[in-house]
Chains A and B, each alone.
Chain A
Amino acid sequence: MRDRADFEHYVEQRSARLLRAAYLLCRDWGTAEDLLQTALAKAWLAWRRVGDDPDPYVYRILVNTHATWWRRRWRGETPSEVLPEVPDGDAMDALATREAVRQALAGLPGRQRAVIVLRYFADLPDQRIAEILGCSVATVRSQASRALRKLRVDPAAVAAITTGEPR
C-alpha cells in the first residue's frame, strides 16, 4: 500500500529529474516548477492507485497538463533586447550545433517534443511512451522519426526508428 511517506520519498528522490523533464517540455524554469508541482499534487491525489513504478504515471500527468496549459496560454513572441546570432557555416562548431538542436527542440510541436523527452531523456521504451501519450507504438515511432529529422539527428538512426529496430 502506497502511503504519504512513500510519496514524500518519491518526491525527494525524483523531483530534480522530473523538473528537468518538465523544463524540456516547456523551456522555462518557472513554468517547469509550476508544472511539476501540479503534476505531483495530482499524483498524490491518486497515489493509492499508482502502481509500483510511479514514473510513467507522473510523466503522463506532466505531458497532459503541459498540453492543456499550452492550449490555454497565449504563446506570443518573447521580447528580447539582443538579437540572436546567426552562425555562418565556418563558425558552426559543436557548441553551435547544440544550440541549434535546443532551438529546434523548442520549435517542435508539443507531441513530438514529448516523444523526444520521454524517449531520450526519460529513457522509456516506445510501448510505455505509447501508453503515456494514449497512442499506438507506430505513432510514437513516426513522431520520433519526424522530430529527429528536424533535430538533424543521424539519418541512419532515424531510419532505424522507422523500421522499428531496437535502440
Chain B
Amino acid sequence: MTITESELREILNGDGDGDGREGHNRGVTVADVHRRVRAIRRRRWTTAGAVAAVLVAAVALNTSAGGVADDLDIWTGVMARPSPTIPTTSRPLGEPHPLREIASGNYRTGGTREELQIGSGNNSLGVNVYCSGPLRRVIVWVGDGPPRRQLCGTGPDGYPMVIRETQGADHLTGGRTVSAAVLPGEIDAAGRTGGELAEGMAGFFEGWEERLAEAEPFPLKWSVVVREVIYPVCRDNIRQLDPRTGEMVRLSCGGQGATPPGNP
C-alpha cells in the first residue's frame, strides 16, 4: 500500500502528537537558548585556554631545549647554538586572584560619587561595578590611584558589561577607599562591537569632570563590590607568554623574591 506526497506531509506535520509528550508545541524558551549560549562560550574559552596552554608548553619546551635539530644531519645536532635572547620582565604576568569580599554598596541613584571605606589590611583591592539598564559611563577611584574611566550596563551583545578594576597595595597607603560615580546619559551600544566602543572611550568621557560636577541625581540601580586580591607570585627565571605581545618573557624579580608586587 502506497501513500501520496500530501499524506506524507500530513504525517510529518502531525507526527508526535500522540506520543504522550506534553508541552513540545511550545518549542524552547529564550532563556534556555541563552543558557546554552553561555555554556558554548564557556566551552570555547576553555578550549582556547587549553590550546594557549599547550602552545605555551610547546614554546617553553622548544626554547628551553634550545630548539630541535631540523634534519637528520648529526653535525647540525652537535654544533653549539647561541641561546635565544628572551626579554625579561620584573612583574609576573597574569590576572590577580580574588580573595574575600570586604565591602559592597547598592545604590539607587546615579550622578553622585559614592564612597566605600575599606577596613585595615595590606592586600591589593579588586573592584567590580555592576549597572542595570543600558550602557553608561562610570568613573572608579581605588585608593590614591588615578580615576579610571569605564563602561557598565548592557553591552552590544546583550550581556552585562561589568567593570573590573584592581589596584596594587602601593597605591593604598593614603587610605583604603573605593569610590565610583555613574555619569548621566546613556551610550547607544547598538551595532557597535566591543572594539569600536573601546576606540570611542576618549570621546565618551570628554569633559566628564564638568558633567559629574553639574549632574543631578537620577534613578539607577547599580552596585559596587570590593574584594581583596592577590597578584601572581614573582619567581626568578620563570618563563611566561606575554598575553599582550604573544612573546615569551623571563621573570627577573630583582630581589623581590617570592613576594607578589603590591602584597606583603
Contact (Cβ within 8 A) B8 A120 = yes
Contact, CB under 8 Å: B36 / A37: yes
Q: Contact: B27 with A157, CB < 8 Å?
A: no
B3 at the A interface (CB under 8 A): yes
Contact A37 B32 (CB under 8 A): yes
Query: Which chain B residues (8-61) contact chain A, with CB distance < 8 Å?
Result: 8-9, 11-13, 15-16, 19, 21, 24-30, 32-37, 39-41
Contacts of A97 in B (CB 8 A): 1, 3
A12 in contact (CB, < 8 A): yes
Tell me which residues across on chain B come within 8 A of A98, comparing CB atoms. 11
Q: Is A138 at the interface (CB under 8 A from chain B)? A: no
Cα separation A152 to B11 with both chains bound (whole Å): 13
Q: Are B11 and A41 in contact (CB under 8 A)?
A: no
Task: Find out whether the CB atom of B28 lies under 8 angstroms from the CB atom of A20.
Answer: no
Q: Which of A16, A29, A120 contacts B5 (CB 8 A)?
A: A120
Q: Are B5 and A154 in contact (CB under 8 A)?
A: yes
Contact status B9-A121, CB under 8 Å:
yes
A131 is an interface residue with CB less than 8 A from chain B: no
Tell me if A125 counts as interface (CB < 8 A to partner B): no
Task: Check: B158 CB closer than 8 A to any chain A CB.
Answer: yes
B85 located at the interface, meaning its Cβ lies under 8 Å from any Cβ of chain A in the complex: no
Contacts A12-B30, A44-B33 known; A151 to B8 CB distance under 8 Å? yes
The B contact surface, by secondary structure, is helix
A101 within 8 A of B: yes
Q: Is the CB of A11 within 8 A of B12?
A: no
How many angstroms between the C-alpha atoms of A152 and B8 in the bound complex? 10
Cα–Cα, bound, A167→B4 (Å): 12
A interface: dominant SS:
helix
Q: Which of A11, A36, A102 has the most CB of B within 10 A?
A: A11
The residue that A40 contacts in the complex, of B2, B11, B19, B28, with Cβ under 8 A, is B28
Min Cβ gap B15→A in Å is: 6
A23 touches B8 (CB 8 A): no
A132-167 interface mask toward B, CB cutoff 8 Å, 1 = contact, 0 = none?
000000000000000010011111010000000001
A1 at the interface (CB under 8 A from B): yes
Instruction: Determine whether B191 belongs to the interface, using a CB cutoff of 8 Å to chain A.
Output: yes
Tell whether A40 pairs with B15 under 8 Å between CB atoms, given A152-B1, A155-B2, A157-B4: no
Beyond A29-B16, A41-B33, A41-B36, is A154–B2 a contact (Cβ under 8 Å)?
Answer: yes
| Candidates A38, A92, A121, A154; contact of B13 at CB < 8 Å | A121
Asked if A63 CB lies within 8 Å of chain B CBs, one says no
Inter-chain contacts of A117 with B (CB < 8 A): 12
Quick check: A23 and B2 within 8 Å, CB to CB?
Answer: no
A17 touches B (CB below 8 Å): yes
CA A91 to CA B130, docked complex, whole Å = 68
CB-based nearest B residue for A16: B27
Q: Can you name 11 A-B residue pairings with CB atoms under 8 Å?
A: A11-B29, A14-B27, A16-B26, A16-B27, A19-B24, A29-B19, A37-B33, A42-B40, A105-B12, A116-B12, A121-B12
